Amino acid sequence: MRYTFRLYIGLIIASLVLLAAGPAAAFLSISAETDRESVEINDSLNLIVTVSGDSASVPEPNLPQMNNFNIYSSGRSQNISIVNGKITTSVAFTYILSPRFIGKQKIPPIPVFDGKEKYVTREIEITVVKAASTAQAPQPQTAQKTRAAAGAQTSLKPEDAIYMTAETDKKAAYPNEQVNLTIRFYTAVSLTSNPQYIPPQFKNLIAEDLPPARNGETVIKGVRYYHTDIKTAIFGIEEGPAAVNPATIIAQVHKESAIDPFDPNFFQKFFSLGAGEGETRQIQSPTASLRILPLPEGAPASFKGSVGNFSLSADISPKEVKTGEALNLSITITGKGNLKTITAPTPPDMPDFKVYNTISSLDISKENDVIGGKKVFTTVLIPRTAGRLTIPKIKFSFFDPEAKAYRELSCGPFEITVGKGDGEEKTFSFTHGGQAAGITPLSSDIRYVSDRAKPPITGTFAGRVSTLPVWINFFPVAAVLLSLWLARLNDFRLKNPMLFRFRKAHGEARADIAGAAEKLKTAQPEEAASILYDSLLAYLSDKSGYKVSGLTMKRARVLLKEKFPQAGEHSLAEITDLWERLEALHFSPAGATPEEGKYLLEKYTALLDLLEKDFKK
């Protein structure tokens, strides 16, 4: 009976441990820093946001609305390591911030959300100062010419004094081929602050910023203009027409705008920096059209849509292992092109290895307005047998738009040496006929024996437990079975994260709707629109199984149509309409009104009901 009791106690303790056990809390951290604490009004600064975690990928930071800065993405650098099966990832996102106002400006806390918890950075304070005057000597001008130029400057029509243009360096391109878009803002009148830039929306295109903005001066028809160039790299998604919709500039124009166009400090006087009153003007660029060409026929079997100019390399580490030990196969693709869209080369057949899922890391550079960098695909392999094993040749193909030809690269094969693992090398040795070693006393003690036998406490307690009803003994067994069921459920959940995200998406979206409704009650339509925008993207990401960071409206429609063929065109059209409305308010929150927020809230609620019915058909 005492052994039965001890068994029950052990089962209960094991059950409690298993019940309390769960997946180890994932590590995630975020930090932000700038390269300077003070910046001139006509200059810019770098903001670096670093996100680290103990998983193959980390979420991208969600930059908050910052009306005191214009923000441009400058690239990213990722470091991923796999040591003894443990994965750690660190990604540094770089942004260029151009200040709009003089004085103490704040970069608010930047959040990142891992699906369960939100992590934020500290607030950063930046001091924005006046631009230093240049010691530019005035060019000699005749009094008559100066007066004529000044007269032309002051007699300008409002639409000629401040306007925008939009041009692409190509009118036709292949899918994923880089095209540079230049949006130029001209002004011949002085401004009270740097203008606010609202980027355009794109049709059949994805975009990457090409910071920083370039400033300059030019004379057009006798009128001297200050201009700012904002460049963006755009890539076609699929064959067909593409378009760049109008970008918007919101500028505060100084009422007393007449200045000498040939003043040596003309460049600085565009920013009177708060002196006097100003009026708000909103200017838009024209629409720019582009044609996306079909890729030619004759693509090799290893081609997966990559366009640009790349090189391929691979590495095996370590090159000597034992069976059951892991090694890393790293494939690096380096070059110029849209690396975000590059997928891992198809791995060759490797029957001698157990092959795990491939993880990737991405470094993006934007030197000389060309998108490039490197992408590393790492696959963990575990050899099944010992000996000299071979990893076959790895192939990668891309289309070179300059040569208008396909290129196929290869590397390998690779040979590694695999020894027998510890489990296979374990042997036993028995020695016979040897002389026994002598016995050496280490310590001595005297144990007194009592002539009164007393039952141990555990035995007494076990005896009392044995008198309890038999059905009580089923509790420990039930606890063990429950803990085993929870462990299997947890294991299934870890192996099928997308299934759980799919099931939880509707409930999380409903919670977001409630949060947006609270914001509307407190007269915060901008915050409500932001919540709904983030919620819609997260909902579509969970339902489609695609990362929210790379999800576009067109891609979401395609993925949902493939995954849910029963989804009607009406549902997809409603998604497009709501997405466009929320995206417009996301980039221009000043346009949000309580009435608009209420309408979008009701529209999102109805759309969720409609989609849930389509997804359950």
pLDDT confidence of residue 315? 92
pLDDT band at 165 (very low <50, low <70, confident <90, very high): very high
Task: Identify the weakest region by mean pLDDT among 34-48, 81-95, 296-310, 578-592.
Answer: 578-592
Residue among 420, 197, 227 at smallest CA distance from 320: 420
- 106 or 142, higher pLDDT: 106
Percent of all residues in the chain with a pLDDT value above 90, rounded to a whole number: 33
Does the structure show a pLDDT above 80 at 434?
no
Locate the DSSP E strands across 174-264. Answer: 178-187, 196-198, 202-203, 205-209, 214-220, 223-236, 240-244, 248-254
Does the structure show a pLDDT above 80 at 100?
yes
pLDDT confidence of residue 471? 67
- 283 or 10, higher pLDDT: 283
Measure the CA–CA gap between 465 and 2, rounded to whole angstroms: 10
Q: 303-422 adopts what CATH topology?
A: Immunoglobulin-like (2.60.40)
Measure the CA–CA gap between 229 and 225, rounded to whole angstroms: 13
Does the structure show a pLDDT above 60 at 189?
yes
Does the structure show a pLDDT above 80 at 486?
no
Question: For 23-47, what is each residue's pLDDT tens digit?
Answer: 445 578 899 999 999 999 888 999 9
Does the structure show a pLDDT above 50 at 426?
no
Task: Identify the weakest region by mean pLDDT among 215-229, 314-328, 550-564.
Answer: 550-564
Question: For 355-385, what is each residue's pLDDT tens digit?
Answer: 887 888 899 999 999 999 999 999 989 998 8
Question: For 451-465, what is each residue's pLDDT tens digit?
Answer: 445 555 655 665 665
Does the structure show a pLDDT above 90 at 438?
no
Domain ranges of the chain: 29-129, 152-292, 303-422, 497-615
Does the structure show a pLDDT above 90 at 401?
yes
Question: Are both 152-292 and 303-422 of the same fold?
Answer: yes
Q: Which two tokens stand for residue 510?
A: 């409903």
**Residue 115 neighbours by CB under 8 Å, 6+ apart:** 59, 501
> Which DSSP helix (H) or strand (E) runs through 320?
strand 320-322
Q: Tell which CATH classification among 1.10.533.10, 1.20.1090.10, 2.60.40.740, 1.10.150.20 matches the domain 29-129.
A: 2.60.40.740
- 525: cis peptide before it, omega within 30°? no
Return the SS3 of 314.
strand
pLDDT confidence of residue 424? 43
Task: Identify the weakest region by mean pLDDT among 415-419, 421-425, 502-506.
Answer: 421-425
pLDDT confidence of residue 284? 94
Q: 152-292 adopts what CATH topology?
A: Immunoglobulin-like (2.60.40)
- Chain centroid to Cα 223, Å, comes to 44
Task: Identify the weakest region by mean pLDDT among 37-41, 204-208, 431-435, 473-477.
Answer: 431-435
- 161 or 456, higher pLDDT: 161
Most confident of 77-91, 130-144, 594-608: 594-608
Estimate the crossing angle of helix 497-521 against helix 594-615, to 10 degrees. 160
Measure the CA–CA gap between 389 and 387, rounded to whole angstroms: 6
Return the SS3 of 4.
helix
Rounded mean pLDDT, 13-18:
46
Locate the DSSP E strands across 84-222. Answer: 86-99, 103-107, 111-113, 118-120, 124-129, 162-168, 172-173, 178-187, 196-198, 202-203, 205-209, 214-220
Q: What is the DSSP string of 414-427?
A: EEEEEEPPHHHH--
Q: What are the C-alpha distances in Å from 121 to residues 68, 279, 402?
A: 18, 36, 43
pLDDT confidence of residue 248? 93
What does pTM read for this prediction?
0.59
Q: Which two tokens stand for residue 15?
A: 């059950």
Question: For 236-295, what is each residue's pLDDT tens digit?
Answer: 999 999 999 999 999 888 765 444 544 555 444 544 444 445 688 899 999 999 999 999
Question: For 310-334, what is each residue's pLDDT tens digit?
Answer: 999 999 988 888 988 888 899 999 9
Does the structure show a pLDDT above 50 at 21?
no
pLDDT confidence of residue 399? 96
pLDDT confidence of residue 463? 61
Cα 211-245-251 angle, rounded to 5 deg: 60
Name the β-bridge partners of 98: 70
pLDDT band at 155 (very low <50, low <70, confident <90, very high): low
pLDDT confidence of residue 154? 54
Does the structure show a pLDDT above 60 at 1?
no
pLDDT band at 429 (very low <50, low <70, confident <90, very high): very low
Percent of all residues in the chain with a pLDDT value above 70, rounded to a whole number: 76
Q: Tell which CATH classification among 1.20.120, 1.10.3470, 2.20.28, 3.40.50 matches the domain 497-615.
A: 1.20.120
- 134 or 187, higher pLDDT: 187
Q: Which two tokens stand for residue 362?
A: 């991405």
Q: Which two tokens stand for residue 289?
A: 């059209």
State the greatest distance between any 2 C-alpha atoms of the chain, in Å, as a whole number.
130
pLDDT confidence of residue 190? 82
Look at strands 124-129 and 38-40 and give their pairing.
parallel
Q: Which two tokens stand for residue 610?
A: 């409609």
Measure the CA–CA gap between 133 and 139, rounded to whole angstroms: 17
Does the structure show a pLDDT above 90 at 591?
no
pLDDT band at 300 (very low <50, low <70, confident <90, very high): very high
Place of tokens 């790299």: 233
Rounded mean pLDDT, 85-94:
84
Look at strands 303-317 and 394-400 and give their pairing.
parallel
Q: What are the C-alpha distances in Å from 591 to residues 129, 373, 537, 594?
A: 30, 38, 20, 10
Cα 536-498-374 angle, rounded to 5 deg: 85
Q: What is the mean pLDDT of the chain?
A: 79
Measure the CA–CA gap between 548 and 149, rounded to whole angstroms: 53
pLDDT confidence of residue 277? 56
- 107 or 611, higher pLDDT: 107
Does the structure show a pLDDT above 90 at 470?
no
